[in-house]
Amino acid sequence: MAEKKKIGSSKATAGVKKVALLGFGTVGSSVAELMQMRKLPGIELGYVFNRNVAGKLAGKAAQRVPASVEWTEKIEDVLGSDADIIVELMGGIDPAGKWIRRALASGKSVVTANKQLIAYEGASLLRLAAKNGAHLLYGAAVAGGVPVIPGVLQGLSGDSLKRVSGILNGTCNFILSQMETGADYAEVLAEAQRLGYAEADPTADVDGFDARAKLVILTRIALGAEINPDAVAAESIRRIAAIDFSYTREMGCTIRQISRAEIDGAVVRARVAPMVVPRSLAIAGSHGTLNTVVTNGRFGGDVVFSGHGAGGRPTAVAVVSDILAAAQGSGQVALPVRKRQVTGEMVAPHYLRFVVNDKPGIVSGIAGILAKHKINLDSILQRQGYPKERLPFIATVEPCLNTTLKKVVAAIGRMDSMLEAPLCLQILPVEDKDV
Amino acid sequence: MAEKKKIGSSKATAGVKKVALLGFGTVGSSVAELMQMRKLPGIELGYVFNRNVAGKLAGKAAQRVPASVEWTEKIEDVLGSDADIIVELMGGIDPAGKWIRRALASGKSVVTANKQLIAYEGASLLRLAAKNGAHLLYGAAVAGGVPVIPGVLQGLSGDSLKRVSGILNGTCNFILSQMETGADYAEVLAEAQRLGYAEADPTADVDGFDARAKLVILTRIALGAEINPDAVAAESIRRIAAIDFSYTREMGCTIRQISRAEIDGAVVRARVAPMVVPRSLAIAGSHGTLNTVVTNGRFGGDVVFSGHGAGGRPTAVAVVSDILAAAQGSGQVALPVRKRQVTGEMVAPHYLRFVVNDKPGIVSGIAGILAKHKINLDSILQRQGYPKERLPFIATVEPCLNTTLKKVVAAIGRMDSMLEAPLCLQILPVEDKDV
């Protein structure tokens, strides 16, 4: 068992920055392990703050922490210490935000993986950091081990990015890419929970709130636009069924939870939703828990980043990279950010799936309602082998305003023969990648 | 026509960093255009150095340069000016290297796209920059508009990377991905030259020297290993024929120019060569002039970066991003780099293609020679439809040392029936992406 040292008893090494970990869970213990294994110059783990230190010290992960590290259950011990860099891995807005503010106000740099906090309060925290000559780095908050944030901030600041999209939630991607092989939502979710990829309450992941926070952060750094996370529409993947993968496969497509934000004049068009993805797009190749982000710039065109978005060790890579950047005083490029209104309205082609009690006139009924609202049917596909009394079939419609389509689809859903509300998914375009 | 201003006549704006461009070709004029269009805060184009200024000023590109910019044909005008950031876009080791040294020595920061210079002299130039408190940034030297260098330096410094591989030359990738559709090398090269993707003398691209310089830079920043560019084996793509794409397609593969470096104890195993790439790998999806880089880390697994690696505007994105980083004093994370020996020896499965004047006993002859050297045949494939007197067929062999195989293949090539030297390509493994 590791020993609990008295706070303040260790000596600082000259030129070495002391790191304090807030939270010693999966990511925190991986950060400690990585720092210990790599022995990176100029940084040293000094403090670990966690509830129930005795319990943590009895665990296996604590064995990898150097004996010189001071453990504490009192946040004051850390905020009042000689730690140079505070690494916040607890999550949640409160008390994490309050503690980060205190650390920044006292000139300590902060590294965090806290996507909700950075989505809601990132702008004001960054101002506080700048005012106090401290760094605030949050590379682990989006796409874990994939260096999207440093890549965009340091490598694409010269471009004028107009769109950012991608797969930002590994849980949804695991579920949907498993469903590709024919499995049903409920069984794959159960498997994901068994493997530790999904929480007992999967709401934050499957209903899009996790991805939404990440999209808001990306929108700030890539598009220079500050948007209200609550104003971004998030749609659940819960209604996607095995049948949708059969039908989209015939279209040369698959289905993924896509987060997408685009600058359009003074507004940002942003949504998180399951969407139909042509297989020729890089994001269609994102399997399992992989994350993929695609930026599109006026000058440089599409840039793709892909890798492991979650898990202790990939996330720890992002955290330790940020610790090194903070320790070396490598500030991130900062460009002006503007507050922008956000809308979920987009003009796009869509996939519609109906489940009906089959009788004559259904297709003409649907076609009639669509035509009345000037929405053009693109294709109808009905495969054999399903019972007439519970018949699934699909239609695709040409680009139209999604808000209008939603109302029209609701009207279609009120037809007698409809057994459930029709499913309506945006189809991603195969964008021109030339520059 | 833009006006030529007298050097030293412009006034510096407080807090704004003055930029001097050395070279006003495709990339240089795109950098000027991008700076003008984006009006980025804190930077201002002050000087352009080029031969034949009158000719440049008469051209269209110069119209987009603000009238306040001072043009000169004398390097002293720039090196002795109040420019804060020198942007070197001339290429070549000399005089570019000499001028960059003078700029750094006088405390000016330098941004360059010069891959050969950074490959050969990057380490000493970085030391010179550090000594003088200046920045040396070269994001445009590898993969143009794809932010691999900032992504690796800022975002993956926390990992311990063991391998870096990818497609680093857009010309070769254009040629090989066009050949996928059945075209022959010579006709696609001619098309690439017509489109401006290939030089009149394509040696640097097709024979691997351009990719090699980029691989050496990536090896330094990703693997922390300083290697001698001349010691890295580079193999040409000139011998790849349409038939090789037919045969590799049947194997579920394609062919790409791959640059690959891996840390193995105290040595770096590195090569640039056309290789057989399974279609399930991300790099197989790199079409046209796209560049793709995959890093593999002990902690974070595979990370993929992809996008437009060349062209004036994508390269200008990397240059302007570096100018912003230099202007904002955002230094890159630096970790220790060690000198390492390099070897091209690798154990890998291989693809062999023979062209023979068919007669009995050829296959058994080949199999006999391979067996004598303990190399295991994995498969033999010979398709119908070719003349017996000039018959192409292929074999694949199980993992073996490439240097041994090369000798064995040379021996096979001396068989009477062989009409040309057999082609021998490494087959990339489908690596485990789990972490």
Q: Which residues of chain B lie closer than 8 angstroms to A305, CB-CB?
A: 151, 303-305
Task: Measure Cα distances from A3 to A54, A56, B358 in Å.
Answer: 9, 11, 76
Question: Which two three-digit tokens encode residue A19?
Answer: 């790191």
Which sign, positive or negative, has the C-alpha torsion A351, A357, A358, A360? Answer: negative
Which residues of B fall within a CB distance of 8 Å from A41? Answer: 335-336
For residue B308, list chain A residues with Cβ-Cβ distance below 8 A.
Answer: 300-303, 433, 435
Is the pLDDT at A10 greater than 70? The verdict is: no
Confidence (pLDDT) at B12? 55
Check B330 against A328: CB less than 8 A apart. Answer: no
Predicted confidence at residue A435, as pLDDT, reads: 47
**Contact flag A299-B316 (C-beta cutoff 8 Å):** yes
Q: How far is A360 from chain B (nearest CA, A)?
A: 45
Q: What is the pLDDT of residue B435?
A: 47
Cα–Cα nearest to B174, from B163, B183, B161: B183
- Among A12-16, A291-295, B123-127, B134-138, name the one with the lowest average pLDDT: A12-16
Task: Give the pair of three-digit tokens for residue B298.
Answer: 């002990």
Whole-number average pLDDT of chain A: 94
Q: How many CA atoms lie within 13 A of B323 on its CB side?
A: 35
Residues in chain A closer than 8 A to B34 (CB atoms):
158, 299
Taking contacts as CB-CB distances below 8 angstroms, the residues of chain A near B37 are: 160
pLDDT of residue A9 exceeding 90, the answer is no
Query: Is it the case that residue A2 has pLDDT exceeding 80?
Result: no
For residues A413, A414, A417, A420, the Cα torsion angle rounded to the nearest 10 degrees is: 50
d(CA B245, CA B247): 5
pLDDT of A94 > 70? The answer is: yes
Cβ-contact B108, B46 below 8 angstroms: no
B309 touches chain A (CB under 8 A): no
Q: CB distance from B281 to chain A under 8 Å? A: no
Inform me whether the C-beta atom of residue A224 falls under 8 Å from chain B C-beta atoms.
no
pLDDT of residue A1: 41
A423: pLDDT strictly greater than 50: yes
| Residue positions counted in chain B | 435
**Using CA atoms, how far apart are residues A343 and A233, in angstroms rounded to an integer?**
8
**pLDDT score for A15:** 85
Residue of A nearest to B333 (CA): A325
Interatomic CA distance for residues A316 and A139, integer angstroms: 10
Contact B151 A149 (CB under 8 A): no
Chain B contact present for A218, CB below 8 A: no
| A331 has a chain B CB within 8 A of its CB | yes
Which residues are CB-neighbours of B143 under 8 A, at least 6 positions away?
A: B149, B166, B168, B214, B291, B293, B305, B307, B309
- Where residue A5 falls among pLDDT bands split at 50, 70, 90? low
**B333 lies within 8 A of chain A by CB:** yes
- What is the rounded CA–CA span in Å between residue B304 and residue A407? 40
Residue of B317, B334, B336 lying closest to A300 (CB–CB)? B317
Three-class DSSP category at B274:
strand
Which residues does chain B have within 8 Å of residue A296's beta carbon, measured at their own beta carbons? Answer: none
Closest residue in B to A303 (Cα) is: B307
- 3-state SS, A370-405, equals HHHCCCCEEEEECCCCCCHHHEEEEEEEEEEEHHHH
In a mutational test of the A interface, the residue from B17, B157, B294, B431 whose CB has the highest number of chain A CBs within 10 Å is: B157
Confidence bin at A285 (pLDDT 50/70/90): confident
Q: How big is chain B by its Cα radius of gyration, in Å?
A: 24
pLDDT confidence of residue B280:
87
Residues B122 and B220: beta-carbon distance below 8 Å: yes
Nearest CA in chain B to A148: B151
Tokens encoding A251: 């279209």
C-alpha A6/C-alpha B155 separation (Å) is 34
Q: What residues of A are in contact with residue B141 (Cβ under 8 Å)?
A: none
CA A84: distance to chain centroid? 29
* Catalytic residue ranges of B: 214
Residue range A221-273, pLDDT digits in tens: 999 999 999 999 999 999 999 999 999 999 999 999 999 999 999 999 999 99
For testing the chain B interface, which of A138, A154, A280, A330 should be mutated: the one with the most B CBs within 10 Å? A154
Q: Is the pLDDT of residue A129 over 60?
A: yes
A133 touches chain B (CB under 8 A): no
Q: State residue B1's pLDDT score.
A: 41
Considering only residues 67 to 96 of chain A, which have any Cβ-Cβ distance to chain B shorter than 8 Å? none
Contact A317 B159 (CB under 8 A): yes
pLDDT, average across residues A153-176: 96
- CB contacts < 8 A, A to B, total 210
Asked which of A4-8, A118-122, A212-216 is least confident by mean pLDDT, the reply is A4-8
Q: 0.90 exceeded by the pTM? A: yes
Mean predicted confidence (pLDDT) in A137-156? 96
Residue of A17, A108, A115, A214 marked active site: A214
Nearest by Cα to B35 from B73, B69, B74, B80:
B69
Report CA torsion sign: B169, B171, B177, B180: negative
- Residue from B356, B353, B343, B374 nearest B422 by CA: B353
Which of A111, A221, A296, A299 to probe the B interface (max B CBs under 10 A)? A299
pLDDT in tens, chain B (435 residues): 445 555 554 555 678 999 999 999 999 999 999 999 998 999 999 999 999 999 999 999 999 899 999 999 999 999 999 999 999 999 999 999 999 999 999 999 999 999 999 999 999 999 999 999 999 999 999 998 999 999 999 999 999 999 999 999 999 999 999 999 899 999 999 999 999 889 999 999 999 999 999 999 999 999 999 999 999 999 999 999 999 999 999 999 999 999 999 999 999 999 999 999 999 888 898 888 899 999 999 999 999 999 998 889 999 999 999 999 999 998 889 999 999 999 999 999 999 999 999 999 999 999 999 999 999 999 999 998 899 999 999 999 999 999 999 999 999 999 999 999 999 999 998 864 544
Q: Which amino acid is at B280?
A: S
Q: What is the side-by-side strand order in the sheet with A377-381?
A: A377-381, A391-401, A347-356, A423-426
CB contact set of A432 (below 8 Å; sequence gap of 6+): none
